[in-house]
Amino acid sequence: MTTTIPNPQVSTAPVELSRHATSEGTVMWFRCGCGRLRMVSTPDSPTARPMAAGGRTPGCPECG
Ligand SMILES: [Zn+2]
């Protein structure tokens, strides 16, 4: 038996999964439209650059 989950709205926009405050800033996890997990660390310091971790999916408009 196959279960099909209806997905009428196909979006490639990343979905925020969780958000954690750390001593250095905010760490957020996203699930990309392609299904890949991405981590973005946003420092509290305005002079520090946000860091993103995670691979890239070729052809994905968000992470490819
Ligand atoms: Zn992607």
Q: For residue 55, how far is its CA from the centre of ligand 1 (angstroms)?
A: 9
Query: 49 CA to middle of ligand 1, Å?
Result: 21
Q: How far is the CA of 54 from the centre of ligand 1 (A)?
A: 10
* pLDDT score at 11: 62
pTM of the model: 0.69
- Determine the pLDDT at residue 17: 96
What is the maximal distance between C-alpha atoms in the chain? 54
HSE (CB half, 13 Å, CA atoms) of 2? 2
- Give the pLDDT confidence of 22-55 residue by residue, as tens digits: 998 999 999 999 999 999 999 999 899 999 888 8
Q: Using an 8 Å Cβ cutoff, are 18 and 24 in contact?
A: no
Cα–Cα distance for residue pair 40/49, rounded to 1 Å: 11
pLDDT score, position 29? 95
- Tokens 């709205």 locate to 9
Q: Which residue has the higher pLDDT, 58 or 10?
A: 58
Distance 18 CA to ligand 1 centre (A): 17
pLDDT at 39: 93
